[in-house]
Structure 1
Amino acid sequence: MTDFTGCAAPADVVRRQYLASAAGDLDALRATLAPDVEWTEMAGFPLAGTYRTPEGVTSGVMERLGTGWDDWVAHDDTYIADGENVVVLARYTAVNKATGHLLDVRVAHHFIVRGGQIVRFEQFVDTAKVRDAMLP
C-alpha cells in the first residue's frame, strides 16, 4: 500500500520496523528510521530517554535490550492510523537474564511517519511491571 505521495503508507513502514526488530535485522530496522529520528523510551523504563539517529536508536535501545533480556519481542497486534500518526497496541515478552523472571506487559507506541520513514517514536508501558521482572 502506498500513500498519496508515492511512499509506503505509514502503517506499512511501522510494520516493517516491527518485523525487522523481531528478526534481529538491525540494518532493516535502521532503514525504516529517518536520519533525524527522535525515539523516546518512557521515563521509568530501564532505557528511558530520547535517542537520535538510526544508529543511536539501534545501539541505545535494541542492542542494549539484548544484553539484559532473552527473547525480547514486541508483539504488534492493533494499528490505529491517522495520516502520519500510527498508534500500535502491542505486548512485550521477554525473560530477564539476571532474574529469570518473565516479562509480559501491554504497551502502546506512537509513531510519526513522514516521507516513508519514522521521524518520531514514543513508548507507553507499565514500567512497574518491567521493574518487577528485574527484581530478585
Structure 2
Amino acid sequence: MTAQATDFAASTAPADVVRRQYLASAAGDLQALRASLAPDVEWTEMAGFPLAGTYRTPEGVTAGVMERLAQDWDHWTAHDDTYIVDGENVVVLARYTAVNKNTGKPLDVRVAHHFTVRGGQIVRFEQFVDTAFVRDAMTD
C-alpha cells in the first residue's frame, strides 16, 4: 500500500470520508460503509423516493437503505463525480445506475447528495433526485 493510499484510508478530511463511503457502497462492503457513519447519523432519502424517510444509526442506514436497494435493484451504484466542499459540508453531484429486478428497466439519473462530516464520520446525509425517473424504472 502506498503512503498516499494509507493517508486516504486514515484521512478525516470531509471529502475523503465521503469518498470512502461511496467506494464501500459500490463494493457492497456494508461494514466499511457503517464505519464511515457516526453512531447518531441522520440519513434522509428524499420524499417521493421508494425508501423516503430518515434513517438513524449505521445499522439502520445499511438495513433500511442499502440492503433494501439490493433487494429491488441489480447493480445499484452511485457514481460520484463532482465534490463541492465547504468546511464540514460536502455536496456531491453523482449518478445512480441500476436495473430494476421486477421490470428489467434500467435507471440512469443524476443526483445530488449533501453530507455533513464531523470528527471523521458522516453525521448527516440528504438526497436530492428526480424521483419520477426512479418510479418510471419501477413500473411497467
Name the TM-score class by shorter chain: over 0.9
String of CA shifts for 1:28-87, please: whole Å, max 9, x gaps. Answer: 000000000000000000000000000000000000000000000000000000000000
Matches within 5 A, 1:92-131: 92-131=96-135
Q: Residues of 2 paired with 1:11 and 1:49: CA distance? A: 24
In the superposition, the TM-score normalised over structure 1's length comes to 0.95
Does the 8 Å contact 2:42/2:125 carry over to 1? yes
Task: Give ranges in structure 1 of 5+ residues lacking alignment.
Answer: none
Q: Residues of 1 paired with 2:61 and 2:31: CA distance? A: 12
Task: Give ranges in structure 2 of 5+ residues lacking alignment.
Answer: none
Does the 8 Å contact 1:7/1:115 carry over to 2? no
Identity of aligned residues (%): 84
By percentage of residues, which structure has more helix? 2
Moved beyond 3 Å, runs of 4+ = none
Q: Residues of 2 paired with 1:9 and 1:47: CA distance? A: 29
Local SS of the residue matching 1:59: helix
Local SS of the residue matching 1:66: helix
Q: Residues of 2 paired with 1:8 and 1:116: CA distance? A: 4
In the superposition, the TM-score normalised over structure 2's length comes to 0.93
